[in-house]
Chain A
Amino acid sequence: MNAYFLLQYKLANRKLIELGINPLVGYVLGIAGFILISEYLYLKTEFAKYAVILVALTFLAKTSEINRNAFLLMVFGNKKSRVIRIIENLILCLPFSILLIYHTEFWESILLIVVSVLLASFSFNTNFNFTLPTPFYKRPFEFAVGFRNTFYIFPFAYLLTIIAISVNNLNLGIFALLLVFVVTFTFYLKPENEYYVWSFSTSSGRFLLGKLVTAARYSAFLALPPAIALCVFYPSEIATILMFLFLGFTFLWTIILAKYSAYPNEINLPEGILIAVCIYFPPLLLFLMPYFYIKSIRKLNAILK
């Protein structure tokens, strides 16, 4: 059993090293990020505890995946695999429970611990076989796959836009618009299997252009409804809304270029830092995009020849 947890620890370290982060630094950054985000959440909303419980349950549900638990059962047998699952779930819910206790939400914390122990007895399929139709079938795969993984965020973003308009809060509306873009950014974070690049009978430049055009068309499909609604209700702020819309597209293109500049590896820390700097000073994108483009062409030429 110790060997299992040691292996999980090693796997986590390997993942961080692959991302170009020293494991120790990664853990410190993770804890700091967790504290900062949760404090920000508690500062902003009185419903923070529900969000904390929801996030914790989402993580816990992942450990109940049926194939994973069938494997544990096969390797460790009934009793040991049960103990492993309880310990795993307790480790996962620990930071959330501490957070709830810190905010004097004792009952919620106890409830979370009890649920995490109970969930260790259940296995279920976290991947539902229901095929969610998408309007992105003509140009698979990023938006078709990404939309299916994150579809529930879009109605939430559109609802936020409606609330923003009804309470006359443009900032909230802009936040909803940017939320749509941030979700589409995640569609491009993981590099695809090389077969899906190799298959293209096109030059690296045309391949990239195709990716950028598809991303612009499909992200417009998702981002234009809130953008148009905001423009209609805040005609005096059209320039600001269009600027954020333009920034959304530009960052999306930058992330696509960053992805292929690191291909076949994942976008790692240097690229991430460069993009983060641009969030504070967007004009830097003018230099960053050509830089990523040239690097992408070099990487893609090795496959597309």
Chain B
Amino acid sequence: MILVKQLYKNYGSNEVLKNISLEFMKGKVYGIVGENGAGKTTLFRCIAGLEDYKGEITSELKPLKNHLGLLLTEPFFFSKITGEEYIQLLCNARNRKVDSIKEKNIFDLPLNQYASTYSTGMKKKLAITAILLQENDYFILDEPFNGVDIQSNIILAELIHKLKQLNKIVLVSSHIFSTLSETCDEIHLIKKGEEVKTVPKAEFGNLEQEMKAVNIGNKIERLGLK
């Protein structure tokens, strides 16, 4: 279990997260949804311990960060490190011994090439492979589907289902609603740093319709496209 209680985060006078309280249970997948700048990534960084915050974040396994696989929106790679060395580095960091990295290369990445030469999607797949091989219990996947090809997105969705089966806690953010409705048990909607709604799986359809109505409105008509 991961418990977030009355979480506040400020950058100077800018309040990015306001009174967020969330509970994440084992064996469940949670979607975090919100517009750009709503505070999703900041929330993830707070849970990971990469940011200072006000409030409380606790977990069953302690310290939380040592059991967390964190996929950043834009993973950083050194200029001359190969894909295989990147995986080795991240596994070394968690004292995990990987017998055959090549065998576990399910996305067929060119592991002998420098990771910096990979495309956006390949970089994301490499980062995902590395955090999976770390054998974490908690996962934060910040926009895992972005830039990844359709074939790999299918694999990724199956991987998330597998993690759920293995009793892991998975938090996913995505700007593509279908990817969340397919994988998540619950979606938390964040707006301007506040949690405005928690939606169970049965109500995902309503949420999508509601989001369409609120966000599209008459914006398309206003453009006056000819």
Interface pair B76/A137, CB less than 8 Å apart: no
Interface pair A131/B114, CB less than 8 Å apart: yes
Interface pair A145/B113, CB less than 8 Å apart: no
Interface pair B76/A141, CB less than 8 Å apart: no
**0/1 string, B67-95, CB within 8 A of A gives 1:** 10010100110111110111011101111
Q: Once bound together, how far apart are the Cα atoms of A305 and B79, in whole Å? A: 28
- Give, as a whole number of angstroms, the nearest-CB distance from A209 to chain B: 14
Tell me which residues across on chain B come within 8 A of A192, comparing CB atoms: 78
Residues of B within 8 A of A (CB): 48-50, 63, 65-67, 70, 72, 75-76, 78-82, 84-86, 88-90, 92-95, 112-114, 116-117
Tell me which residues across on chain A come within 8 A of B49, comparing CB atoms: 198, 303, 305
- Give, as a whole number of angstroms, the nearest-CB distance from B58 to chain A: 13
Classify chain A: how many residues form its interface, as a range: 20 to 34
Tell me which residues across on chain A come within 8 A of B50, comparing CB atoms: 194, 198, 303
Interface pair B65/A198, CB less than 8 Å apart: yes
Does A78 sit within 8 A of B, measured CB to CB? Answer: no
Does A45 sit within 8 A of B, measured CB to CB? Answer: no
Interface pair B112/A131, CB less than 8 Å apart: yes
- Give, as a whole number of angstroms, the nearest-CB distance from A305 to chain B: 6
Tell me which residues across on chain B come within 8 A of A139, comparing CB atoms: 92
Tell me which residues across on chain B come within 8 A of A287, comparing CB atoms: none
Interface pair B86/A140, CB less than 8 Å apart: yes
Does A50 sit within 8 A of B, measured CB to CB? Answer: no
Interface pair B48/A141, CB less than 8 Å apart: no
Tell me which residues across on chain A come within 8 A of B112, comparing CB atoms: 131
Interface pair A193/B76, CB less than 8 Å apart: yes
Q: A201-B93, A201-B94 are in contact. Are A148 and B80 (CB under 8 A)?
A: yes
Q: Once bound together, how far apart are the Cα atoms of A144 and B82, in whole Å? A: 9
User: Which of B67, B84, B85, B113 makes the CB contact (< 8 A) with A129?
Assistant: B113
Closest partner residue, chain A, to B92 (CB atom) = A139
Tell me which residues across on chain B come within 8 A of A79, comparing CB atoms: none
Q: Once bound together, how far apart are the Cα atoms of A199 and B66, in whole Å? A: 7
Interface pair A198/B81, CB less than 8 Å apart: no
Does A195 sit within 8 A of B, measured CB to CB? Answer: yes
Q: A129-B114, A305-B63, A305-B65 are in contact. Are A138 and B88 (CB under 8 A)?
A: yes
Closest partner residue, chain A, to B113 (CB atom) = A131
Closest partner residue, chain A, to B67 (CB atom) = A201
Interface pair B81/A141, CB less than 8 Å apart: yes
Interface pair B117/A140, CB less than 8 Å apart: no
User: Which of B76, B85, B90 makes the CB contact (< 8 A) with A144?
Assistant: B85
- Interchain Cβ contacts under 8 Å between A and B, 16 examples: A137-B85, A137-B88, A140-B92, A141-B78, A144-B85, A145-B79, A145-B80, A195-B72, A195-B75, A196-B76, A196-B89, A201-B95, A202-B93, A202-B95, A305-B49, A305-B63
